[in-house]
Structure 1
Amino acid sequence: MVPREKFVDPGFEEFAYEDAPLSIGEGQTISQPYIVALMIEKADLDAGDKVLEVGTGSGYASALISRIARHVYSIERHERLAVQARERFEKLGYRNIDVRVGDGSKGWAKAAPFDAIIVSAGAPEVPAALKEQLDLGGRLVIPVGRGEEQRLKRIMRTGATTFEEEDLGGVFFVPLIGEDAWTAAHPMYTAAAPSSRPEETPYKLIAAVAEEFPSADDRSFAALFDRFGESRIVLLGESTHGTAEFYEARAAISRHLIEHHGFNMVAVEADWPDAAAVDRWINGQPSKGDPPFSRFPRWMWRNLEFSRFLGWLKRDNERRKALHADPVRFYGLDLYNMSGSIRSVLDYLENVSPETAEIARERYGCLSPWQSDPATYGRAVLTDAYRSCEAAVLKQCTELLARSLDDTASDGHDFLNAAQSARLLAAAERYYRIMYYGGSQAWNLRDTYMADTVEHLLDFHGPTAKIIIWAHNSHIGDARYTDMAAARDELNLGQLCRQRFDGMTSLIGLGTHSGEVIAANDWDGQAEKKQVNPSLPQSYERLCHDSGKPRFLLDLAADEELHASLVEQRLQRFIGVIYRPETERLSHYMSTSLSRQYDAFLWFDETRALSPLMAPESGTSDPETFPFGL
């Protein structure tokens, strides 16, 4: 028996077994027992079934279903209700229920197909995604109708595109809010759950909570980040790899955290050997090997904005040395020499088969989790020539990697470099094999190594070590609350840092509405200054833009109402080293839950492009001014 009194709000226990709906907050209700029983009966559940419930609410229906079916997947739009339901399931020992916050009208594609789907909210029409996620013979029970004319429907899938429908009678449910259902402006919601600030839509809430600043150069800007000073790991993101304001802001934040909060490491989304050369330079050691960051995408780290920060690090380390204090160290989290390895693959394939080289170039362009250019995947059927190159490519990549790591082997950090090199070489063949064919495994292996590297660095430097990480939003925003996890089974660095260093990690995303960016059209292409399209109306960026504030920090934990309003899945833009404005919606947006993905969000409404620096000719670098001619 499922104790219904455990699923109602305090004070309502005496009414728990009345055959009537009860309010549970957020404009939602726990359905009357009769209706719950009717829907479960009409779903025709079996002990081996996998069931999707849309509208977790209190969790009561999920709990009942879990006592009959093998596993229940439940989606709730309101984070508070989802959290409460999880807590109830935990206390009652119901282990076969998974709950997520999201758009129920889209179903749960990752877990599909389902033997049954039960929807506990009324839709204007049956969402196509829910029908598509039914298994053959699967049953969907859902209230459908406009206004007060809702009918309870039972829909059974009889074939790939065929369904049978049965009308079970009139009902009245709260509206299903989602992209394929009602909008959040449904009058029943606004009447049932007035906001304490009813006139404030999400963009108005953003405007009310936003902490404005005049520029990243202003002293007041960096002080905004004192609230993250007690963290051991602070991850600073960017929504493009080519925006000047993002680099300038991260530099200002990093300087402040180093000077005032004891951070002693900076790690970036860059190759380990390249970063090791920079670490030598900021610590006054001679350069050796090839100039760092001399391969595609050069502008990502070889730019004026970043070089100014490195110049500050060098001067600060000179000051520390005079005081006999430990220096700030600089590291790269990408142990794989990824860009060099890709270049090696492309060079080899160009000589063997230009056609397969073009396929490889397009696949590498889609290693980023937000890239989904249909043309690329249409050409991704690998040829025999492509497969025949695999062994030679793997050999070439691992040899290249070994040479790159040898160049870092004697710079005063011998043990750390040797240990990291050994870790990488032990897994090199697996990594390059995965990278060669693309897919989520390549992304997951890469970000897992990044997280492992962070952990190794903190262990190596001791319990007082604190690290600042510069990486793209797709790496630092918790993947569990994005399409990366929901649609592609991907994880990322921010997620892993939260999981491994619970309570000691701060994730800060950065975004923009429009302006200019440095990016290429294709992998290994020429850097171009491109105009950034204005953000899409359905996006989080448009909410920030509509706030009317040009620059601000949004502390996503500072205001409970704001946090709740930004839980809903919306589009978010991701531009990496490739920007394709002509296919922007497909190539550069994915759905996310902003307030769960980050701890804070830093906004620049209009931005300008980075200022790339020319790579020096081989053998002409000056040890005194290396690496960027400062």
Structure 2
Amino acid sequence: MTAAGTGAGPWAERGAERGAETAQIRSLAHSLATADDLEPLVRLAAPARFVCLGEASHGTQEYYHWRALLSRRLIEEYGFTWIGVEGDWPDCWRINRWVRGEAGQEMDARQLLAGFERWPTWMWANHEVAGFLTWLREWNLRLPEHQRTGFYGLDVYSLWDSLREIFAWLEANASEALPAALHAWHCFIPFREDPQRYALSNRLVPQSCEADVVALLAEVRRRTLGRMQDDPAAFDAIQNAIVATNAERYYRTMVRGDQQSWNIRDQHMSDTIERIARHHGPGSRGLVWAHNTHVGDARATDMAHDGMLNIGQLVRQRHPGEVVLAGFASFAGSVTAAESWGSPEWVMEVPAAVHGSHEDLLNEALGEPAVMVFGADRTGPWLTSWRGHRAIGVVYNPHRERGNYVPTRMGERYDALFWHPRTEALRPLHHEYQPGEPELETEPTGF
């Protein structure tokens, strides 16, 4: 596979075909100025069981804004009852209890989000999320408890926080089982809550805490058996035990530097989606918020050639005909990101998209924000073309722009796409207070 951005790859300029592609883009585009303009996408998403909404960066106002507006409409008009986000389970469980009116009601959304301390805090502690959560809590409090919309974290990173939550639950509900939790905790003590230290130790000395966290998971499963559906605290406990188990596996695997750790993470997030859906009942419908690289079907990118899968692919495979995937893209602007893992965030310039990319073509075809709904027929020159699609992570170097593109067939990767010619940086509620403890995240090619 030729690398994106070389200027001569499979998505390089193709002369007369460019005009046909821009014509197809214009035929699919609907103007996007107000929430009412979301109607074509709302009609597509309304019957779905899972609606996965991406973002081309973790630091762009417009992506968060329009994702929230679409989510509001689907919750208000069609009864979607849960949201799963690319965030840690313990932090998001506190948000879940707040938006459902169960705890922390003396706080407002900004105070609640101040509790996010794991780098990068700006992903969730920002003005757009605070506004959405304020609305969601107000919406929920007007409804009976069983109809309220939940907010959950899908990610795998919270090893030590999840262990602490398991301790608290066992102490309150099954104190005789605390020795199993203490055994797992003591295994991790030498690593000082540093995932890098744990991962590297397993490379140097092949001795892990795997058996301890697996035993803890089995104990928590036994203690919560038959209780999860009616007892939210038991559901929280078992999920924390699963996070701890998969996080240990993730950190132990990722030090090898292959794609398997990426797959462990996305399989965990996809399995968590399944558990949340079951917890809310067979008729429940949910929204997933994550980066395009997780939401857009990996089989329509060069990730598949490297043996990588993701949420979009797995949810489609598990629930054919019940899933809508929507991505985001922009041509230029600014973004909130960091120069390296764990460093403070900055507002950075996003340069004009490279020639021959999907973003370059979209900018030529559309001068204003738009939403494109692809429909059943995914043929045609643009939907089937193989071009680079920009992906900006929490770490970004605009001077290495050509490395930020994932070769993509749009018609297979998504069911719809939000387009903005120019975007603005996300506004954090607070800055990173000190150098964080960055997670050693795995990334797809070109990201």
Tell me the CA shift for residue 248 of structure 1. 0.6
SS at match of 1:334: coil
| TM-score normalised according to structure 1 size | 0.55
Pick the structure with more helix per residue.
2
* 1:257 corresponds to 2:78: no
Report the Cα distance in structure 2 between the residues aligned to 1:616 and 1:590, rounded to whole angstroms.
29
Alignment equivalent of 2:341, drawn from 523, 543, 555: 523
Is 1:244 equivalent to 2:46 in the alignment?
Answer: no
- Amino acid aligned to 1:331: Y
Q: Displacement, 1:280?
A: 1.1
1-structure distance, mates of 2:300, 2:79: 31
Alignment of 1:540-555 (within 5 A): 540-555=358-373
* Amino acid paired to 1:246: Y
| Preserved CA contact (<8 Å) 1:451 1:496 | yes
- Give secondary structure in 2 for the equivalent of 1:583: helix
Distance of aligned partners of 1:183 and 1:517 in 2 relative to their CA distance in 1, 3 Å threshold? closer
1:511 counterpart SS class: strand
Contact kept, 8 Å, 2:113 with 2:124, in 1: the verdict is no
The farther-off stretch of 246-255 and 454-463 is 454-463
Q: Residue 536 of structure 1 is aligned with which of 343, 346, 354? A: 354
For 1:210 and 1:555, locate their aligned partners in 2 and report how far apart those are by CA, in whole Å: 7
Aligned pair partner of 1:416 in 214, 217, 235: 235
Given residue 303 of structure 1, which amino acid in structure 2 is its aligned partner? Answer: N
Is the counterpart of residue 299 in structure 1 residue 122 in structure 2?
yes
TM-aligned CA distance change 1:591 to 1:290, over 3 Å? closer
When residues 212 and 290 of structure 1 are mapped into structure 2, their CA distance, relative to the original with a 3 A threshold, is closer
Question: For the structure 1 residues 202 and 272, does the alpha-carbon distance in structure 2 shift closer, same or farther, using more than 3 Å as the test?
Answer: same
**1:607 paired residue number:** 423
CA offsets 1:234-271 (integer angstroms, 9 cap, x no match): 00000000000111101100000001111000110001
Q: CA–CA distance in 2 between the matches of 1:570 and 1:527?
A: 30
Q: Distance in 1 between matches of 2:13 and 2:113?
A: 56
Q: 1:310 is aligned with what amino acid? A: L
Q: Deviations over 1:519-558 (max 9, x none)?
A: 0011111100001011111211111111133211111226
Distance of 1:566 and 1:339 partners within structure 2: 44
The Cα of 1:387 is off from its aligned counterpart by 3.7
Partner Cα distance (1:181, 1:571) in 2? 6
Contact 2:56 2:390 in 1 (8 A): yes
Q: Is the 8 A contact 1:210 1:552 kept in 2?
A: yes
Answer whether contact 1:271 1:338 (CA < 8 A) is retained: no
RMSD: 3.7
Q: Distance in 2 between matches of 1:434 and 1:348?
A: 19
1:377-409 Cα deviation digits (max 9, x unpaired): xxxxx8xx89447758x69x979x99xx9xxx9
Alignment partners' CA distance in 2, 1:427 and 1:350: 19
- 1:331 counterpart = 2:152: yes
Render the CA deviation track for 1:436-461: whole Å, top value 9, x for unaligned: 44431111001001111111111222
2:407 is the alignment partner of 1:591: yes
> Which structure has more strand as a fraction of its residues?
1
- Give, in whole Å, the separation in 2 of the partners of 1:611 and 1:290: 13
Structure 1 segment 101-180 matched on structure 2, within 5 A: 179=9
Alpha-carbon offset, residue 427 of structure 1 = 4.0
- The amino acid across from 2:329 in the alignment is G
User: Aligned letter for 2:122?
Assistant: W
Distance of 2:254 and 2:247 partners within structure 1: 10
Deviation for aligned residue 1:183 = 6.5
Following TM superposition, by how much is the alpha carbon of 1:204 offset from its aligned partner in structure 2, in angstroms? 2.7
Q: Displacement of 1:559 after TM fit?
A: 5.8
Aligned to 2:45: 228
1:479 is matched with which residue: 274, 298, 304?
298
One-letter identity of the residue aligned with 2:297: D
Q: Is the 8 A contact 2:369 2:419 kept in 1?
A: yes
Q: If you compute each CA radius of gyration, which structure gives the higher value, 1 or 2?
A: 1
Counterparts of 1:182 and 1:264 in 2: how far apart (Å)? 43
How many residues matched? Answer: 385
Higher relative CO (Cα under 8 Å, sequence separation at least 6) belongs to 2
Would you say 1:513 and 2:331 are equivalent positions? yes
Please report how far the alpha carbon of residue 293 of structure 1 lies from its aligned counterpart in structure 2 after TM superposition: 2.0
Instruction: Decide which of 20, 31, 34 is 1:212's aligned counterpart.
Output: 31
Deviation per residue, 1:170-196 (Å, 9 max, x gap): xxxxxxxx847996448xxx8xxxxxx
- For 1:320, give the aligned amino acid: L
Q: Which amino acid aligns with 1:569?
A: W
Question: 2 CA distance for matches of 1:528 and 1:458?
Answer: 37
Indicate conservation of the 8 Å contact 2:156/2:246, yes or no: no
Name the CA distance, whole Å, in 2 between partners of 1:541 and 1:612: 26
Task: Tell me the amino acid that sits aligned with residue 431 of structure 1.
Answer: Y
Q: Within 1, Cα distance between the matches of 2:78 and 2:349?
A: 37
In the other structure, the counterpart of 1:566 is: 383
Change (3 A) 1:306 1:510: same
Q: 1:225 to 1:348 in 2, by over 3 A?
A: farther
| 1:201 corresponds to | 20
Per the alignment, residue 124 of structure 1 pairs with none
Q: How does 1:419-430 map to 2 (within 5 A)?
A: 419-430=238-249
Q: Tell me, in whole angstroms, the C-alpha distance in 2 between the residues paired with 1:340 and 1:547.
A: 47
* Structure 1 unaligned blocks of 5 or more: 1-105, 110-177, 191-198, 342-346, 365-381, 618-630
Segments of 5+ residues of structure 2 without an aligned counterpart are 106-111, 163-188, 221-226, 434-447
After superposition, residues 375-386 of structure 1 pair within 5 angstroms as: none
Q: In 2, distance between residues paired with 1:338 and 1:582?
A: 34
